[in-house]
Structure 1
Amino acid sequence: MFLHGTSQINAAGHLEIGGCDVTDLKAKYGTPLYVVDEELVRQRCQQYVAAFRASGLKFQVAYASKAFCVMAMCRIADQEGMSLDVVSDGELYTALQAGFPAKRIHFHGNNKTIEEIEMAIDAEIGCFVVDNLVELHLLNAVAAEKNVRVQILLRVTPGVEAHTHEYISTGQTDSKFGFDIGNGSAFEAVNLASQQSNLELLGVHSHIGSQIFEVEGFEMAVQRVAEFAQRVKQELGVQFKVVNLGGGFGIRYVNGDTPLEVSQYVKAITDAVKNHFSEWSAELPEIWVEPGRSIVGDAGTTLYTVGTSKDIPGVRKYVAVDGGMTDNPRPALYESKYEAVLANRANDPVEETVSIAGKCCESGDMLIWDLDLPKVSSGDLLAVSCTGAYNYSMASNYNRIRRPAVVFVNQGESDLIVRRETLQDIIGNDMVPERISKQAVLK
């Protein structure tokens, strides 16, 4: 397993993260357990901010909270000078409860409810990213009722298809998100938005996909958006103050993944902005981006305890752990690949190839196929790397399995930031109607 951030193998042959021996973390918090390298998270935030400062452009780096949204993470994003991207009332509520400044919150989503819109307006968030005409009219109407003027970006699809899984590619023409530049709907949306009395159009938002390892897609998106901005300026007299180029910056999950340095992504984007916008405008727009996975993805590790195994001669050996698709649905959703190590015997020689199965009642509950490990025994501690993004946030209670705890580790200290769910939590929202509770049991 590739070691990220502060991870290392200590003298006892145990995996250590943030100065904490993971066998000690298991003893203290149990498994499954999400472990987050706080130092690496902060480094990633700082790298983005520093790279944009070096560009000389006005900017906002907004942490895409959908990757991992808990109060402690929102506090770190604030402390590191980030803005915040939310897509639901739950994410917004989490941010506000964490004390995140509302003026630096951007609200995304293709189907915001009227309750979410009212909540966000009342909180005085900084910006809405408007996804469709229904939302445009609804937002203007609610803002008018509240006698306020809200700032917006229009989400546009530039027709750029990133090299990524089809379910996480969002910049192409055939997408549920945004107004298409190519078919003219984006132009009409700008024209309409600029006429709304309670909306202030700041600019546009574009996002081309996720887990992207090259800069060409971003450069092309900048070019398409710049050409669109020029047309809007010439024909409508509307100047974009802000261009949000989304996120999608890749990380290394397994051998063969080749992400660029943060500074390389940022330089390519800012150079393209300077090149394509300066051709026709003396004033360059403020650039916003929304990294999520690249902030927290490789900072996360999930610890599992090995349970049963099943050896099928000539076929494969299944090794089951005490978690699975409930705490990491990405392999089932996207065929995502992961690396792992026996964290309590990290220096032992490889002796077998196994496939890591989860405990859910699903044949598709597989975390890793064909993993080379030392001879695996029940009770061993398996550490799966790069689980910081979209694992906790997508976790479920399928089979009524409790969601794991989350800890931050830093300089030898561990802190619980999400407690493990209890059995009482599982039934906490259940209700048995009186008519059912009074019904006699058939004999």
Structure 2
Amino acid sequence: MTLRELIPSLRSSLPDKLAPIIWPRTTRRVGGDIQIGGVSLASIAGRFGTPAYVLDEVDLRERCQEYRRAFAGEEVAYAGKALLTRAVARMIGEEGLSLDVCSAGEMAVARAVGFPAARVILHGNAKTPADLAFARDYGVGRIVIDSLGEIARIAAEAPEPQRVLLRIVPGVDAHTHAALTTGTEHQKFGLSLATGDAAEAVRRVLGQKPLTLSGVHAHIGSQVSRFGAYEQEIRQLVAFLAGIHDEHRITVPELNIGGGHAVAYVDGDDSFALDDFATRIRAVLRFECQQNRLPVPRLTVEPGRAIVARAGVAIYHVVAVKRAASGRRMVAIDGGMSDNPRPALYGAHYSVVLLGRKADAAQEPMTVVGRHCEAGDILAENVPLPADVRPGDLVAVPAAGAYHFPLASNYNLVGRPPLIAVRGGDARVLIRRETINDLLVRDVGE
């Protein structure tokens, strides 16, 4: 039993603690407000409006640095699909990371800030002609082959030599959400070991003069917390490398094990022990290579969410509060599934915190819902909020840095929020708010 429960009169006077595991590292509680990067979230709402995404630059850079220390001498490639803007690409480049992209648009963002093409890795299970043409013009360092049919297409577009990796289906179940699982058979990514497609891809790549087989790649899923799944992945990939050596008498120099490292979204979620992970993965890789009489390849990891999720916070205004016949209190905000579809897509859970004033009442469980015309537009269920929450209040949602901005839509023709970076007491716009005029300018028919 907590102190709040033992002494009800203290419920409104005890300060709400913010769980460090889900908030940016520069977060500070100041009265009823929250500061990130030395900037008040309430002031950001007043200046830039809501909904808004806030990004802690210090947090993002420090997590990049942690990965580089943990994998010193190896390659860390940021998975741009988690969040990619020109400013983010510049930060990632300055911190010495490589960049994982999957479209001409993502490559264009990287190229716009002069991100070194040699450190760009192009992924994608259905690379379009436009994607491959952009990759050729940009001169991307590596292209990850995802199917047999694209080998000849990549060779036809590629300058000589073009380094390629083969994306392998390792047959590993990462025990994560079904929509986030990518290492098993019967999903859309990669070349199957079981069917022989992976081995056939090696033969075809070696038969294409413009292509150089630089490595193999696999990605077992997202929000993976068990090290054992990665160890199993490495065993499968090293065995495949040994098979390549036996058949073709070549040594493949790179091994990319993907990312997917779990992050916490609510207090109580497990954290990912990065240093322990790096130690174990390197040990397993050395052992498996020794067993298969192979030199140890250069290792690449591809964190995205683990770099940027906790650097981000979303802020909203409360628009309405009502009670259903079931007794459930519902708090409706001015955003929802158009700026965060993850609860609807994956059943993701979030924390919600009152912002901008001290609470005058005890907390009770409430459901925070969005503004969109969908019954499934629910941001968070059974989250504790003060009983006196009312229209006009501000709320903040932590762990909003990954997959919020990239997955945002214009459902109900609602404009997408701005992305505001904070650091050292300054706030700057990275992506401006999308306006009604922005929506109308693309609607060219009458």
Provide TM-score, normalisation by structure 1: 0.93
Of the candidates 242, 246, 256, which is equivalent to residue 234 of structure 1? 246
- Distance, in Å, in 1 between the alignment partners of 2:279 and 2:430 is 34
Shift of residue 183, structure 1, vs aligned partner: 2.5
8 Å contact 2:26–2:59 — kept in the other structure? no
SS class of match (2:383) = strand
Corresponding residue pairs, total: 426
Choose from 373, 380, 392 the match for 2:393: 380
On the 8 A contact 1:36/1:300 being kept in 2, the answer is yes
1:15 offset after TM fit, Å? 1.3
Report the counterpart of residue 4 of structure 2 in structure 1.
none
Among candidates 169, 174, 177, match of residue 162 of structure 1: 174
Q: Secondary structure at the match of 1:320?
A: strand
Residue identity opposite 2:298 in structure 1: E
CA displacement, residues 101-150 of structure 1 (integer Å, 9 cap, x when unaligned): 1111000001101121011011111000010011111111222xxx5221
SS in 2 for 1:409: strand
Deviations 1:197-216 (A, max 9, x none): 11000110010000011211
Q: Which residue of 2 aligns with 1:430?
A: 443
**Residue 392 of structure 1 aligns to a residue in which SS?**
coil
2:106 counterpart letter in structure 1: E
Q: Does structure 2 retain, via aligned residues, the 8 Å contact 1:300–1:388? A: yes
Displacement, 1:269? 1.6
Q: Which amino acid aligns with 1:424?
A: N
1:2 aligns with 2:15: no
Is contact 2:177–2:346 with CA below 8 Å preserved after alignment?
yes
Q: Name the counterpart of 2:299.
A: 287
Match status 1:413 vs 2:426: yes
Corresponding residue number in structure 2 for 1:441: none
Corresponding residue for 1:440? none
Q: CA-to-partner distance for each residue in 1:53-78, whole Å, 9 max, x for gaps?
A: 1xxxx421110000001110000000
- Secondary structure of 2:279's match? helix
Alignment of 1:69-148 (within 5 A): 69-143=84-158, 148=160
SS in 1 for 2:53: strand
Paired amino acid for 1:268: R
Structure 1 letter corresponding to 2:144: V
Task: Please show how residues 8-27 of structure 1 align to structure 2 within 5 Å.
Answer: 8-27=27-46
- 2:207 & 2:26 partners in 1: Cα distance? 54
* Residues 120 and 346 of structure 1: CA distance in aligned 2, closer, same or farther (over 3 Å): farther
The Cα of 1:347 is off from its aligned counterpart by: 6.0
The answer (yes or no) to whether the contact 1:212–1:259 under 8 Å persists in 2 is no
Quick one: distance in 1 between partners of 2:216 and 2:25?
A: 38
Q: CA deviation at 1:161?
A: 0.9
1:316 & 1:349 partners in 2: Cα distance?
17
Question: Is the contact made by 2:148 and 2:197 (CA closer than 8 Å) also made in structure 1?
Answer: no
Partner Cα separation in structure 2 for residue 98 and residue 394 of structure 1: 22
Q: 1:428 to 1:349 in 2, by over 3 A?
A: same
Whole-angstrom distance in 1 between the partners of 2:358 and 2:287: 49
State the distance in 2 between where 1:371 and 1:150 align: 51
CA distance 1:347–1:240, change in 2 (3 Å) = farther
1:152-301 alignment runs, 5 A limit: 152-281=164-293, 283-301=295-313
Q: Distance in 2 between matches of 1:244 and 1:62?
A: 10
| Runs (5+) with no aligned partner, structure 2 | 1-17
Aligned equivalent of 2:51, options 22, 32, 35: 32
Counterpart contact for 1:214–1:259, Cα < 8 Å: no
Q: Deviations over 1:392-435 (max 9, x none)?
A: 00000011100000111112111111111111101111112xxx
**Aligned residue number for residue 65 of structure 2:** 46
Aligned-residue sequence identity (percent) comes to: 38
Indicate if the aligned counterparts of 1:304 and 1:381 stay in contact, CA closer than 8 A: yes
| Structure 2 residue matching 1:251: 3-state secondary structure | coil
Equivalence for 1:61: 76
Q: Which residue of 1 aligns with 2:415?
A: 402
Q: Deviations over 1:73-100 (max 9, x none)?
A: 0000000000000001111111111221
CA distance in 2, matches of 1:346, 1:177: 49
Q: Is the 2:167–2:218 Cα contact (8 Å) retained in structure 1?
A: yes
Tell me, which stretches of 5 or more residues in structure 1 are unaligned?
Answer: 438-443
Letter in 2 for 1:368: A
Divergent runs of 4+, >3 A? 7-11, 345-350
